[in-house]
Amino acid sequence: MARVDIQMQVRSVNGSIAVVSLDGEIDVYTSPKVKDFIGKLIDKGTYTFAIDMQNVRYIDSTGLGVLIGGLKRVREHGGAVTLVSTNPQTRKIFDITGLIKVFDIYDSVDEAVNALK
């Protein structure tokens, strides 16, 4: 059985943009971990994020909630969030929920980072 968990990594670009790479499944069990991970980065003063979801095999409404919550927090500080995903199912969920209009989703990390510069 595939590992039902989430791995998270962050690296800094230009000192101000955090590229957060997520690997795994984001559901009601793992989304609190993602929320905590991103929340701590925001607490430390990072307000600009490119979230790489290319290795996210599954996301549900709790995962979307984490992304919306993060976006709201960084916007309060003039920040922004871009997403990276080529997964058709992930894009479909953003489309159905209307979040495609809220988040800019790119095909590569480079594109998502450049959009934040």
Partner 1 sequence: MMQAREVGAEIPEIEVRIPSRAEWVALARLAVATVAARMHFNVDEIADLKLAVAEACTNAIQHARESDEIVITCRIYHEGLQITVRDFGIGTEAERIRSRDLGEPRVGGLGVYLIRALMDEVEYRVERDSGTVLTMFKRFGDSSR
Among 15, 45, 78, 98, binds partner 1 (CB under 8 A): 98
- The size of the chain, in residues, is 117
Kindly state the smallest distance separating residue 5's Cβ from partner 1, in Å. Answer: 9
Closest CB 15 distance from partner 1, rounded Å: 29
Question: Sign of dihedral through CA atoms 49, 52, 56, 61?
Answer: positive
Binding of partner 1 at residue 7 (CB under 8 A)? no
Q: Considering the rule CB under 8 A, would residue 22 count as an interface residue with partner 1?
A: no
Region 60-89 residues binding partner 1, contact defined as CB under 8 A:
60-62, 64-66, 68-69, 71-72, 88-89
**Strand ranges in the chain using DSSP code E only, listed in sequence order:** 6-13, 17-26, 48-59, 80-84, 104-106
Q: Is-contact 21 55, C-beta < 8 A? A: yes
Return residues touching partner 1 (CB under 8 A).
Answer: 1, 4, 25, 27-29, 58, 60-62, 64-66, 68-69, 71-72, 88-89, 92-93, 96-99, 102
